[in-house]
Every structure is written in structure tokens, then in C-alpha cells.
Amino acid sequence: MTDKYTQFVSRGIGKDVAKKLGLPQPVVLRRYQPGQALVPGPILVQGSSDGADELAAALLAWDLDVRRHAVPREKLGAIVLVLDELDHAEDLERPVLSAAASLRDLAPNARVVTVSRTPASAPGPASAAARQGIDGLLRSLAKELRAGATANGIMLADGVNTTSPSALGALRFFLSGRSAFVDGQFLTVASGEGQLPADPEKPLAGKVAVVTGAARGIGAAIARTLHRDGATVVVVDIPAAGDHLAAVANSVRGTALQLDISREDAGHRIIEHAVGRHGRLDIVIHNAGITRDKLLANMDQGRWNSVLAVNIAAQLRINDALLASRDFRDSPRIVSVASTSGIAGNRGQTNYAASKGGVIGMVRATAPLLAERHGSINAVAPGFIETEMTARIPFATREVARRLNSLQQGGQPGDVAEAIAFLASDAAGGITGEVLRVCGQNLVGA
Ligand code: NAI
């Protein structure tokens, strides 16, 4: 559901009034639906490297309408800018300005995706400058695009080519309506691990997934999205949420596990249920989370401890059980829900931000532990998402929080779920230890 203001200014008199008064003009975003075309028009692949040629060939093999040169005034669904062979910041000029000439031809909800190399592995300062320059360029461009168009980037570690499974997986995610509320962000592909699905509409076929905190809100949306993508889903929530949890389990034809994740034996109970009822366990989504907001000056032990216990300590303990289990060894995937509060900070949320910053630290340090079993772990950091939690924020504060991002609207629980479903898929197997923000590119904070 789009908020009422966005509906009002999307057409007719509302559109004219917003334009005259210079008010925000968010558009209804093109979100993924099964069977939908990947992008709303032809894809222009720019760049002269071998990597660009190979990428264009891979997109053609997906039966997409691919251009290697702009056709004047043709509306474009996407521009893919391949910059994988930069030695110097001056090398940016030609490809970037040539892409710039096509920006006015982007269709509503179009995509710009850069494909470049990570600065961390650059052979020297000049190439590191060129590679890091793409970061600033892309984030600025994302703030300039209009009408639901977004700009995101893929950074490849050295030795990973532009058509490796997760480079193509990330490209497909960024091009599609699955990433509608992801803007101004990068994903790093660390290795050639991963595998593209036989059926792009069922990337999780045959997998068994556990989602915590799934009785409502973002967790329920994650369960529905993983089910849509082919997974068998176990939904977990506290016993007090039992009725809602059963309803979600029925709607995804999965099973329910009533469990407080902060219990000592939570990890063991999750493994036992998944393997006992469904024969395996491939994916764990740590979504359950709570807030107990107070300024730090007024913080008490109860508020501090309960937030840290549910939001980070429980995840660490469950992960220990997963890492020790023989039943979580076949390319396992963990995705954890962090928050932009844990990155940029938020007034009144020192406890929550400490726990969500903790999630990010945990994810980065756990990635190497899963590598030997070809597993991955990543975090998704949502910004302002339209849920029961954010509906309780007073009107004026909520309206400001909602508009202060490049897409000028709040995200939907499904937007977070789409990012999680991608990171839980084998197409993202070469992406690990990453934090992907689903925030429409929040304008405030870090
Ligand atoms: P919500 O409050 O609507 O749902 C959270 C669910 O987790 C509830 O069903 C609750 O019963 C369950 N839960 C809480 N403690 C539990 C425990 N000890 N054991 C098992 N289940 C437990 O919250 P929402 O908005 O859906 O958030 C989901 C996640 O997304 C949380 O981690 C939250 O911090 C995060 N998030 C939400 C944002 C938003 O704008 N709504 C923004 C950024 C992050």
C-alpha cells in the first residue's frame, strides 16, 4: 500500500498542486511481481572493456533488449555502466559523460547500475582513487534521478569477472522491481561462489528457511516472499503471538514454531524443528527485534538489557548452534535484519543502535566462519518502513521521516523481504559479510 500523499500527488489535480507549490512528488514505485518484465525498456550497456562485452552477451542470453550504443530519444529501461578497468580518475570522464548523455532518456522507474572493482584491492593510489570515485559519483547520481529511477553499484573483488554468478545475480536484483526501495547502495562480490537459479521466478526452490519474528510486520512479509520464491518456510515467534503466527504459517503452507529466541536452547530448537519436520535447514533469517526507546540520560537497565538480549545476543547464540550443527553445512545462508539506526544513529535509540550496530559487526566477523562450507551471511538495514511500529510515530515526525530519502516515501515490508530473499538465494553466494540498506537512500546521517 502506497501512502495517501503519494497517491494524491501521483495524478490529476494533486500532481499539479504539488508541482506549483514545489512539494515532494514521490511516484508509485514499480515493485516486482512474478512474470513482470525485468526493466521498463531496453538496457544500454556502456563501457569498452572485455567485461562489458561479456556482460552485454549475458544480458542478451536472458532475452533482454540490449543496446551497446544509445539510440537518440529512445526511452531506456536501464543503463549498465561497466567500469571494471580503470587505472586513473581521469579514465572516468569518457564513459561517465557518455552515460550522462542518456540520462534524460530514462523511463520512469528505470535503473542505473555501475559495475566496477573494489578500492580495497586496487594495485595503487591512482586506481584506488578511480575506484572509490565511483562510490561518490553513484551516490550523488542516485540523489539526482527522478520518477522512481534508482542508481546502485556492484563492486567486484579482483579476479571476479563481470559474469560470475553473483555479479549477474546482483545485477538482476538491482535491475528488477525487487530492489524498488534500494537506492544509492553498493554490493561487493567477493568471490566466484554461487549459482544462478534454473528458474529465476523460483530461486529458492527446494530450500528450507526459518524466519524469526514472523507473526507480523516485516517478518510476515519475509515469510510470504521466501514462499513465493519456492522455499518451505518455518515461522518463529513468541508464544503470545501464537494465533497470528499460525495464520502466517497457514498462508505460506509452512509450519509454526512458538519460541522466544532469547532462550538458551533456541538454536537447538530451530534446527530440531526444521530438520524434524522438513528434513533440512538451508536458510535462517534473523528478523525478530524490539525497541525500548529512551534518551541515554533516562535509560534504565531493563530497557538496555532487553533490547541487547533479543536483537543481538540471541542471534549470536543461535549462530553458534548453527555453526556447530552437521545439518547446516550445505551452502547455508544467514541474513540478519539490522537498521539504518545502527549505522547513522538515531535520537532516543542508543540501546537499539548498539544492538543493530552489533548485528553488523557480527555479520562481518561470521562471514569467514561460513566460507569453508560455501555459506554466506549478510545484513539488511531497513530505513523508514511502513509498519505498525512506524504507524505509531506522531504525524508530523512520521511525515518528515517518510519524505527524507531520495524516493520521498517510506518503504514497504515487502521491499525489505525482497532484499533478504535475494541475499538468501544461491545467486548471492559470492556476496558475504555485506550490509545492504533498504532505505530509499536516507538523506540524513552517515
Ligand atoms: P514488529 O514489532 O512489527 O515485529 C517484530 C516481531 O518479532 C513481532 O512479531 C514480535 O512478537 C517478534 N519478537 C519480538 N521478540 C521476540 C523474541 N524474543 N522471540 C521471538 N520473536 C520475537 O517489528 P517490524 O517493524 O516488523 O521489524 C522487524 C525487524 O526489522 C526488527 O528487527 C526491527 O528492528 C527491524 N527494523 C524495522 C524498521 C521499521 O521501520 N519498521 C526499520 C529498521 C529495522
Rounded to whole angstroms, the Cα distance separating 113 from 155 reads: 11
Rounded to whole angstroms, the Cα distance separating 5 from 16 reads: 13
Q: How far is the CA of 217 from the centre of ligand 1 (A)?
A: 7
pLDDT-flagged residues of the chain (< 70): 1-2, 445-446
Atom of ligand 1 nearest to the CA of 314: 18
* Nearest one of 51, 204, 176, 161 to 111, comparing CA atoms: 176
Catalytically annotated residue among 328, 352, 384, 422: 352
Q: How far is the CA of 389 from the centre of ligand 1 (A)?
A: 8
Q: Class of 38-189 per CATH?
A: alpha beta
Q: What pLDDT shows up at residue 397? A: 86
38-189 and 208-438: same fold? yes
H helices of 24-164, in order, are 50-61, 93-100, 125-144
Please return the burial class of 357, using the count of CB atoms within 10 Å of its CB with bins 0-12, 13-18 and 19+: middle
- Which residue among 211, 236, 387 has the greatest number of ligand 1 atoms within 8 angstroms of its CB, and so is best to mutate? 387
Q: How far is the CA of 337 from the centre of ligand 1 (A)?
A: 9
Rg of the chain (C-alpha set): 22
Q: What pLDDT shows up at residue 20? A: 78
* Domain limits, the chain: 38-189, 208-438
Max CA distance (Å), the chain: 64
Q: Whose CA is nearest to atom 31 of ligand 1?
A: 289
> For this structure, is 5 an active site residue?
no
Model confidence over 365-378: pLDDT tens digits?
999 999 999 999 99
Q: What pLDDT shows up at residue 22? A: 76
Q: Residues lining ligand 1, judged by CB closer than 6 Å? A: 212-213, 215-219, 237-238, 241, 260-262, 287-290, 310, 337, 339, 382, 384-385, 387-390
Q: What pLDDT shows up at residue 445? A: 63
Model confidence over 29-60: pLDDT tens digits?
999 999 999 999 999 999 999 999 999 999 99
CATH number, domain 208-438, options 3.30.70.20, 1.10.357.10, 3.40.50.720, 3.40.50.880: 3.40.50.720
Using CA atoms, how far residue 191 sits from 119, 163, 275, 370, 429, in Å, is 15, 12, 29, 14, 8
